[in-house]
């Protein structure tokens, strides 16, 4: 698996992405406005709190120092202290309020983002998954969602509060002394300059760190998946060395990134101490020579200037985290905006029964199925599902540059067993991928019971076909659940009957909890052959008119295989089966065998006629050629 692309790309269309996130927040628009108001109010109250410092000093403390016995002054002093305390308590309460509300709003928004993402993922066509790696898709749910959470629950509030504080203190500073304000602004320019230089360096290394982290993660993921292969080829040492190298790169990048980030804070602190001292000296000179600029003004101004410059250090960090989150959100929205698997099908699958010799739709399961075909003139026709499959000169490639199937024509009568044999990569699986429309072919090329498959609703088409895929997947859950996956309304008895048919019953009964045995990750506590038996049982329980078995019995011994075949013959009586098999003994009794080579059917016929032809099949059968 290639390493994940995790470099914090700048969002491409910031406005649009912000709008989209806002849409998710707007479900709680009222609360969100309360949050914004609370953020502004709490930061405003902080400014007001420091503003009260000036009257406290000038009107009460300074006079009280010279006249400590003055009761009136004393009670006024207590009053103003109480007011100050109330202002700070109110501000603190507002911070608590908006933090709580924002957590509620953001977790709810993230819940909906995740669920939209997953719902869309379930609707995406197979080619989408060909183009995106597992790691890439996983990181949408982990890294990108986390980045958005971080932005919503921290960065936004911090940024708004920073802006309000900066503006508030700036106004307060100007009102107190514009000369000193100018001085503070000069110092600020110096601070910004340092942030730009040091911060820029650190940002560069942060990008490197992210890329190195992605590589390390990708490598670890790949090695966990391939652990057995690593051991088989004794590649542990080599793997360790490769990992050391990547880990080293990560360490180097992280050291640089954090060194610059960490020296930024001390540098900033020192500069701001120096600037504090300079402003204090200038302010003292001013206070000594001025009638209006008193000690209180000086103390409050120093507090203002401190609070005014503080947010600048954090702001760049907040902006970075917002940019990272927006880039992540953009990746998530890109997937949400992907075109879902198209389905223009209007022919549907319904239960049917014959009444006086006429095929009619019914609402209960009869074992007979019909294609319900609405026509332009408003009439409906019903065609019984028989399982007749035709390929009419189908040419197909996954990518335009490479044609995989060349001019394939075939005709499977209902109830026939059609087999495909041919070397690996010949295109056998591709043919089955087309029948169930994992990939699309032009109109009219593939017909099912005489109906162009592009007209059939995909879900109904797939419901009428059961497939045992070459790479069967089992889900976590019990054995019984996994069999029932084939048809959710199947009873336990039907599932067990299907297992018997697939000859899986005897091994299942030997599992610790029989049918209730919990399967672990993708059936890792079963043998490959047992997984295949369960997959066959799952397909059998669906009881479809067409069954496709793609190398379904390749890991099963020949005796079990022939037992399954007998069971299947019963089940598939009067239905169509496509079999892709490695073992030629399996395909012997097929009605038709197609020999595929490089996407071309080079021979076709039943076993006897193919043997008589003395072509490729004959060579394969008599062992002159091995299937590779
Ligand atoms: N998802 C895919 N994207 C692109 N090419 C593919 C894909 N799946 C298979 N192919 C290519 O199509 C050809 C036929 O593959 P397949 O039908 O799986 O062969 P097989 O006969 O072994 O089942 C191979 O050359 C393979 O590389
Ligand atoms: Mg295959």
Each residue's pLDDT tens digit, 82-94: 999 999 999 999 9
Q: How confident is the model at residue 324 (pLDDT cuts 50, 70, 90)?
A: confident
Q: Is 503 left (phi over 0), alpha (psi -120 to 50) or beta?
A: left
Give yes or no for residue 239 having a pLDDT over 70.
Answer: yes
Alpha-carbon torsion, ordered 124, 125, 126, 127, to 10 deg: -110
For the chain, give every residue range classified as CATH 3.40.50.300: 389-621
Give yes or no for residue 216 having a pLDDT over 70.
Answer: yes
Q: Which of 125, 394, 427, 601 is the best mutation target for the ligand 1 pocket, counting ligand atoms within 8 Å of the beta carbon and taking the most?
A: 427
What are 477-496's pLDDT values in tens digits? 999 999 999 989 899 999 99
* 8 A C-beta contact, residue 291 and residue 170: no
Give yes or no for residue 579 having a pLDDT over 60.
Answer: yes
Q: How confident is the model at residue 272 (pLDDT cuts 50, 70, 90)?
A: confident
Give yes or no for residue 238 having a pLDDT over 70.
Answer: yes
pLDDT for 1 equals 33
pLDDT for 4 equals 38
CATH of domain 15-336: 1.20.1560.10
Q: Residue 240 and residue 233: Cα distance in Å, rounded?
A: 14
Give yes or no for residue 628 having a pLDDT over 80.
Answer: no
**399 alpha carbon, closest ligand:** 1
Is 397 a pocket residue for ligand 1 (Cβ < 6 Å)?
no
CATH of domain 389-621: 3.40.50.300
For the chain, give every residue range classified as CATH 1.20.1560.10: 15-336
End-to-end CA distance of the chain: 26
Closest-CA residue, ligand 1 atom 9, reads 430
Give yes or no for residue 627 having a pLDDT over 80.
Answer: no
Which positions ≥6 away from 481 have C-beta within 8 Å? 475
Q: Residue 203 and residue 247: Cα distance in Å, rounded?
A: 20
Q: Which of 133, 394, 429, 433 is the best mutation target for the ligand 1 pocket, counting ligand atoms within 8 Å of the beta carbon and taking the most?
A: 429
**Which residue has 């540098």 as its token pair?**
267
Alpha-carbon torsion, ordered 502, 503, 504, 506, to 10 deg: 160
For a pLDDT cut of 70, what percent of the chain falls above it? 97
Q: What is the Cα gyration radius of the chain?
A: 37
Q: What are phi and psi of 95, to 5 degrees?
A: -60, -45
Q: How confident is the model at residue 455 (pLDDT cuts 50, 70, 90)?
A: very high
Which positions ≥6 away from 388 have C-beta within 8 Å? 412, 413, 414, 447, 448, 449, 450, 576
Nearest alpha-carbon partner for 480 in 469, 466, 464, 491: 491
**431 alpha carbon, closest ligand:** 1
């Amino acid at each position: 698996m290639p390493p994940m692309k995790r470099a914090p790309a700048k969002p491409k269309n910031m406005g649009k992405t912000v709008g989209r996130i806002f849409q998710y927040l707007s479900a709680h628009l009222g609360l969100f406005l309360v949050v914004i108001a609370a953020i502004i109010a709490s930061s405003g109250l902080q400014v007001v709190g420091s503003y009260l410092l000036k009257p406290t000093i000038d009107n009460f403390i300074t006079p009280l120092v010279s006249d400590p016995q003055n009761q009136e002054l004393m009670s006024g002093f207590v009053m103003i202290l109480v007011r100050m305390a109330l202002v700070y308590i109110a501000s603190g309460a507002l911070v608590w309020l908006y933090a709580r509300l924002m957590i509620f709003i953001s977790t709810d928004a993230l819940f909906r983002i995740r669920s939209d993402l997953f719902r869309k993922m379930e609707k995406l066509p197979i080619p989408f998954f060909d183009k995106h790696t597992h790691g890439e898709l996983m990181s949408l749910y982990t890294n990108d969602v986390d980045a958005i959470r971080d932005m919503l629950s921290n960065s936004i509030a911090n940024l708004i509060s920073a802006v309000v504080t900066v503006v508030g203190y700036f106004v307060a500073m100007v009102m107190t002394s514009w000369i000193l304000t100018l001085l503070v602004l000069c110092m600020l320019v110096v601070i910004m300059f340092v942030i730009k230089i040091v911060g820029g360096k650190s940002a560069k290394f942060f990008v490197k760190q992210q890329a190195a982290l992605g590589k390390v993660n990708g490598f670890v993921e790949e090695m966990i998946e391939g652990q057995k292969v690593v051991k088989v080829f004794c590649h542990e040492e080599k793997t360790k060395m490769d990992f050391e190298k990547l880990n080293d790169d990560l360490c180097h990048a992280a050291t640089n990134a954090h060194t610059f980030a960490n020296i930024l804070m001390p540098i900033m602190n020192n500069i701001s101490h120096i600037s504090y001292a300079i402003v204090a000296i200038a302010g003292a000179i001013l206070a000594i020579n001025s009638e209006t600029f008193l000690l209180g003004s000086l103390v409050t101004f120093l507090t203002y200037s401190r609070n005014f410059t503080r947010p600048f250090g954090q702001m760049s960090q907040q902006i970075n985290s917002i940019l990272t989150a927006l880039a992540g959100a953009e990746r998530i929205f890109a997937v949400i905006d992907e075109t879902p698997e198209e389905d223009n099908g209007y022919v549907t699958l319904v239960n049917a029964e014959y009444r006086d010799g006429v095929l009619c739709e019914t609402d209960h399961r009869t074992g007979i199925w019909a294609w319900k075909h609405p026509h332009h003139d408003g009439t409906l026709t019903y065609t019984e599902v028989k399982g007749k499959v035709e390929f009419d000169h189908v040419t197909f490639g996954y990518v335009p540059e490479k044609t995989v199937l060349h001019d394939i024509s075939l005709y499977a009568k209902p109830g026939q067993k059609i087999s495909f044999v041919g070397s690996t990569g010949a295109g056998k699986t591709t043919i089955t991928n087309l029948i169930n429309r994992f990939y699309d072919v032009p109109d009219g090329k593939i017909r099912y019971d005489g109906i162009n498959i592009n007209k059939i609703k995909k879900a109904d088409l797939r419901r009428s076909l059961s497939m045992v895929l070459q790479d069967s997947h089992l889900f976590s859950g019990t054995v019984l659940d996994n069999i029932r996956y084939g048809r959710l309304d199947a009873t336990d008895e039907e599932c067990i009957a299907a297992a018997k048919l697939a000859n899986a019953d005897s091994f299942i009964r030997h599992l610790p909890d029989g049918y209730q045995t919990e399967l672990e990750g993708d059936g890792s506590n079963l043998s490959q052959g047992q997984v295949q038996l369960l997959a066959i049982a799952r397909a059998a329980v669906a009881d479809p008119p067409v069954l496709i078995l793609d190398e379904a019995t390749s890991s099963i011994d020949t005796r079990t295989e022939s037992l399954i075949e007998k069971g299947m013959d019963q089940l598939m009586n009067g239905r169509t089966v496509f079999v892709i098999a490695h073992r030629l003994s399996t395909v012997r009794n097929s009605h038709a065998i197609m020999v595929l080579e490089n996407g071309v059917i080079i021979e076709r016929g039943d076993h006897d006629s193919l043997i008589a032809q003395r072509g490729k099949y004959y060579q394969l059968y008599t062992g002159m050629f091995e299937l590779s």
